[in-house]
Homo-oligomer: A and B are copies of this chain.
Amino acid sequence: MTIDGRALRGDTTRQVVLDTALEMFAKQGYRATSVRDIAARSGITHPGLLYHFPTKQALLMAALKRRDEVDCIEEDDGVVEFADLDGRALLAHLVAGAAKNATKRGLVELFASLSVEATAPDHPAHEYFVDRYASLRATLVRGLEELDAAGQLRPGVVPAVTAAHLIALMDGLQIQWLLDPQTDMAGALAGYVNGLLVHPFDAG
């Protein structure tokens, strides 16, 4: 598609604005970040920005979509999608993701505050988050059922309930970590995950 990395990233104003918006929403949250600030840091004025994204909400949605694209490229060395991983890799990926999140406070803040904010049915990002949670849950249920069929799950582990637990743990641990950065998100998550498996990760 492109010759080098820079060209792939795209040097149009749109892309610069999106990256800046993502960074600032991440650092300060959606409501606390003004269109003016994003525009200024992008090297244009706010009406200039609003030419590309007609409203602040539109900018948010575009930034979230961009984030998903970047996430996909960065997290998988190949072209592997999260949803395509097998059961065990899925769980390993969750723990690794928690460890990775612990290096990006702003992004954790963005998704934590936004996922609560977007709980309101009339929020611009409501559908985005409903879909996000539903697909994450579906992927986890599928992975857990796969492990169950292979006899890899301890007795009493119910895929549907466990999927909800895993998502809740990730969200809840993020809050605790934001309140107290000493919190070991990945460790706590790994503790739960290993309790699910007949052959925990420690033992190979």
Contacts and interface: CB of A to CB of B under 8 A. Distances in A.
B164 A130 contact: no
Interface in A152-193: 156, 158, 161, 164-165, 167-173, 175-176, 178-180, 183, 187-188, 191-192
Interface in A98-151: 109, 112-113, 115-120, 129-130, 133
Interface string A49-71: 00000000000000000000000
A24 to B, nearest CB: 14
A170 B169 CA distance: 9
A167 B173 CA distance: 8
Question: How many copies altogether?
Answer: 2
A119 B130 CA distance: 24
A117 B192 contact: no
Contact of A172 (B32, B158, B170, B191): B170
A6 interface: no
Contacts of A167: 172, 176
Contact of A116 (B112, B188, B192): B112
A160 to B, nearest CB: 9
A106 to B, nearest CB: 11
Interface of A: 29, 31-32, 109, 112-113, 115-120, 129-130, 133, 156, 158, 161, 164-165, 167-173, 175-176, 178-180, 183, 187-188, 191-192, 195
